[in-house]
Every structure is written in structure tokens, then in C-alpha cells.
Amino acid sequence: MWVYGNTLVTPPENAATPVYFGGDQGQDPYYRKGILYLYNNTFIVQSNQSEVFQMNAVQLVGASHAVDARDNIFAVIPTNGGTPTNLGLVGGDNNAYFGRNWVPANYLKTTDNGWNFTGQAGGLGNLIVGPGYNPGFVNATTGNYHLAAGSAAIDAATRLAGTEIPFGVSWEYVDPHTGKARAIVGSAADLGAFEYGN
């Protein structure tokens, strides 16, 4: 399963996990299995702790699933100047590999079970941990999640998993209902759903 090139926004007071993979009907033999390839997405949680104390960006149903997350942005934009929601990357028992991703200063492996992670997570040393919660969006308040000059996410993308190279991101979203070709500007592609300079 591939999820790439998207902008996924969790609005204020919404505690729903942005990506839930596998199934939820109690019919395990019919669930999607295998690897979720998650790349060049921009995740934005628009809440503070008084609205949504914590959430995971990705929740996999169980041990027969895994996520390969590369070149994403995971941002927390608190409302009304509040304390940002605690953001976990995956569920407490999940299996994950992380390539280069931008994560906020308060990121956790998980927010499950008192922040107790019992799964397997490789590549955590590849993460770009921001000094704050915003990677340098043009204007997060108005929903402009393009990157501004100077963002650490510019030219920071790395190689996809070998089997995923043919599925590189070639388009990006244009509000309200269309898209445009995404060309690489600079020495490498940018993290997230939008290329700076396009």
C-alpha cells in the first residue's frame, strides 16, 4: 500500500489518527497486510494539549503490518498559543522504519500505554528533529503548508526504498481541486507534499 504526496490535516479538537492501516472490523484474515509505504506527505496536527492531549500519526493494526516512512513532515501547530499536542509517530506495538523525516521537538515513538513503545523502530537516527513544532511553513495559520525559505525540510529528501523508486512523487496538490507537476528544485527533493520554488 502506498500513501504519498498528501497533505493530511487533523483539525482542532479532533483526536482521530491521520493514518490507520490494516482493518477494524474484527475480521483479521481479510485485513490488508504487509508494508505501508508512506512518503512525501505533510501531516499537520492543529490542536493544543487542552483540546487533544496526545495522538499517533500512524496506527497499524498489528505485528503483521509495518510502515516505511520517508521524506515526510510531521508538524504540530497549536491553536490559540497553547501547548502543542504530544505527537507519537506510530502505535505502541507497531513495526516501522524511518528514513529522513522532519519531526517536532516534542515527538515520541508512541503515545500508547503511557508512551511505552514495545514494537520495532529502525532509522530513528535519520529524523530531523526541529527546534520547535513548525518546520517553516509559509503560513500555517492560514493553511499554507508550502515551505518558506530557510526551512530545514528543503533539499532534505533521501532515496526511497529500492522497490518504490518507480513510484516517485511527480505531482503536488493545488487548492481547491487540482494539481500540477512537481519538479525538483535544488540539489534534492524537499520533505513533505510541496516542493519549495515550484
Q: Which pLDDT value is given to residue 124?
A: 97
Eight-class DSSP state of 114: T
Residue 142 falls inside a structural domain: yes
Q: What's the grid cell of residue 107? A: 515527538
Among residues of the chain, what percentage have pLDDT more than 70? Answer: 100
Q: Which pLDDT value is given to residue 2?
A: 92
Residue 191 falls inside a structural domain: no
Residue 150 falls inside a structural domain: yes
Distance, CA of 173 to CA of 193 (rounded, Å): 8
110 half-sphere exposure, CB direction, 13 A CA radius: 19
Q: Which pLDDT value is given to residue 130?
A: 97
Cβ neighbour number for residue 22 with a 10 Å cutoff: 17
Q: What is the mean pLDDT of residues 166-193?
A: 93
The residue count for the chain: 198
User: Does residue 47 contact residue 8 with C-beta atoms inside 8 Å?
Assistant: no
For residue range 130-159, what is the model confidence (pLDDT) as tens digits?
999 999 999 998 999 999 999 999 999 999
Please give the residue range of the domain that contains residue 144: 2-181
Domains in the chain: how many in total? 1
Better-predicted residue by pLDDT, 20 or 27 = 20
Residue 133 falls inside a structural domain: yes
For residue range 21-68, what is the model confidence (pLDDT) as tens digits?
887 877 777 777 889 999 999 999 999 999 999 999 999 987 778 999
Residue 47 falls inside a structural domain: yes
Q: What's the grid cell of residue 68? A: 516505511
In whole angstroms, how far apart are CA 14 and each of 116, 140, 153?
A: 23, 17, 26
Cα 59 vs. chain centroid, distance in angstroms? Answer: 12
Better-predicted residue by pLDDT, 112 or 28 = 112
Residue 24 falls inside a structural domain: yes
Residue 22 falls inside a structural domain: yes
What pTM does this model have?
A: 0.95
171, with CB counted inside 10 A (0-12, 13-18, 19+), is exposed
Residue 83 falls inside a structural domain: yes
Paired with 98 in beta bridges are 69
